[in-house]
Structure 1
């Protein structure tokens, strides 16, 4: 069997929604589902005099068992017959899930967990895994349109090629159409530097720039279309600010796929501003796919 789909659970409503999404993904791939529950403290967060967790402390064992049973029941309700395994690990969730991701086809988490602070739109676990995980990360959020397309945030960067391949494969698995959305503006002209609105900044030849961005979109899509000829693709070139255009398009999608960093990212950053905006504000689940950077 192929590498499993892993899902982090903590008993929260958000994590149980993630379990359902992960079960569907495992079923689509013919893969197993691994439910991961991590418990423990980061050493830096221990209060004075606190001791590490002990197996018998305050009835945690029954509580953890109940959380895993509920998670497995939810998984099998949406994907009967999938192989489910459980993993309970003593350690900080961030570190545990990062290690688990090294042998996974896909990691799935909810947008918020029990440890989230009120008012935060996205939990720290999701942000950390998007930047440091070793496999694609799906963050379950929003209200996806089951009949909508898979939305690919295409930027044409070398690091983004892994996201293109993932989006085509995901659309094929779901038997869904794919919208390859490439958003451009005059900041796309690398020779241009300076202040101003990227929609109105003057460049030498806007028509030439538009044609170049269309060629980029066509070339990237055509290469992957040969691998997945069954996927119906809409190539959508939009002149706009990137983040608002992608967030608006996510309203009618069942999934957004994006790279971790794009052409405009600063060297050394593991997660770009566009992918962060999608993780925090998209109207449907988002999968972040890291390339070889």
Structure 2
């Protein structure tokens, strides 16, 4: 298996959405899919991961350490499952997956250089529940090279 890990996400136009499986990112995914439909654009689903946050490959023996490529494959499968559950198997738009072995802000900010817009949830999996804006959303708002849509929860 060739090394398939990436640290920088490069896109050429379209709608970029950060997905980590959190409720906030699932709402951002649905809104980003709608935005891609409206714009007739590609939906770029970005998932950043580390060894600590990646789902463990189910076929890896309990005492073994999966390779980076095995983790990458499992993160990609998990992301594809999340997208299919949230927006359906055939959402009527082109979807490209970008699974980056990098911190979330790094992956999204690198994607922002070629994106038309980035959509992120207001809060992801980390941090403190009382914060108004998560650190990834804040980094995107402050440093992205394109417009950023921060999705608030349904209330």
Give the TM interval when normalised to the shorter protein: 0.7 to 0.9
Q: Quick one: distance in 1 between partners of 2:87 and 2:23?
A: 17
Q: Which has the higher contact order (CA 8 A, sep 6+)?
A: 2
The Cα offsets for residues 27-49 of structure 1, whole Å up to 9 and x where unpaired, read as xxxxxxxxxxxxxxxxxxxxxxx
For the aligned residue pairs, the C-alpha RMSD in angstroms reads 2.5
Q: TM-score when scaled to structure 1?
A: 0.42
Q: Quick one: distance in 1 between partners of 2:124 and 2:67?
A: 21
Q: Quick one: distance in 2 between partners of 1:189 and 1:265?
A: 17
Identify the residue that residue 55 of structure 1 maps to in structure 2.
none
Q: Does 1:229 find its partner at 2:91?
A: yes
Identify the residue that residue 177 of structure 1 maps to in structure 2.
42
User: Could you say what secondary structure the match of 2:20 adopts?
Assistant: coil
Question: Contact 2:76/2:99 (CA < 8 Å) preserved in 1?
Answer: yes
Q: Quick one: distance in 1 between partners of 2:31 and 2:94?
A: 15
More helix by percentage: 1
Map 1:196-207 onto structure 2 (within 5 A): 204-207=65-68
Question: Contact 2:24/2:151 (CA < 8 Å) preserved in 1?
Answer: no
User: Deviation at 1:238?
Assistant: 1.1
Question: Contact 1:160/1:291 (CA < 8 Å) preserved in 2?
Answer: no
Q: TM-score when scaled to structure 2?
A: 0.77
Q: Quick one: distance in 2 between partners of 1:265 and 1:239?
A: 20
Kindly tell me the number of residue pairs found equivalent between the two proteins.
Answer: 136
Q: Which has the larger radius of gyration?
A: 1
